[in-house]
Amino acid sequence: MKGFLDHFRNQNRSQSTTRSDLTQCPYCSMQCTKWLHEDRGRFAVVNRTVSPNKEDPVTGGKLCVKGIHAPAHVWHNQRLTTPLLKSGGRWVPVTWRTALRWFARNIGGLQRQWGRDAVGVFGGGSMTNEETYLLGKMARLALGTGISTTTVDTHVFGSCGLSAGFRH
């Protein structure tokens, strides 16, 4: 029996893999690059970590606190991975198609009741000028928000990287 268990344990270790992907941090317009590492055992993910890209010409291999901890919310075991709609006072998982149809049906009602500009669109500090322009254009054309109140703010408030491409 001991030989069987040793064989199984060694087989499990021999089939573990490590994957690393170079990506960009989403928090600000610096677009720092970093490595995401994932260690997998035979049956499950064992460990996930982030490390700075030492060859990044802008940051020289350094990341801010948000950048180094950014993936924690993506990998959190309580992260929502499906849309939810409220039904009977409870949040119920629905398909993306159902959620988008609900949004399309109800956005018009909100705008009829509260005015065209009752709907806002948020962007982010990492958006380019072109992306911010397209976000504002989508708000005006697809959502029918008013041209007179168009405000595109690309400031990143301090160093916290809050939503910066703002349309209200």
| 165 and 132 Cβ atoms separated by less than 8 Å | yes
Domains of the chain: 2-75 (2.20.25.90), 90-167 (no CATH)
In this predicted structure, what is the pLDDT of residue 33? 87
In this predicted structure, what is the pLDDT of residue 161? 43
3-state DSSP assignment of residue 14? helix
In this predicted structure, what is the pLDDT of residue 3? 53
In this predicted structure, what is the pLDDT of residue 95? 96
* Cα distance between residue 57 and residue 30, in whole Å: 11
CB-CB neighbours of 87 under 10 Å: 9
In this predicted structure, what is the pLDDT of residue 162? 41
Give bridge partners of residue 85 from the DSSP assignment: 92
Q: In terms of pTM, does the model score above 0.75?
A: no
For the chain of 168 residues, list the mean pLDDT of each consecutive stretch of 10. Answer: 51 66 80 84 74 87 82 78 94 95 88 83 74 82 67 46 37
In this predicted structure, what is the pLDDT of residue 147? 57
In this predicted structure, what is the pLDDT of residue 1? 52
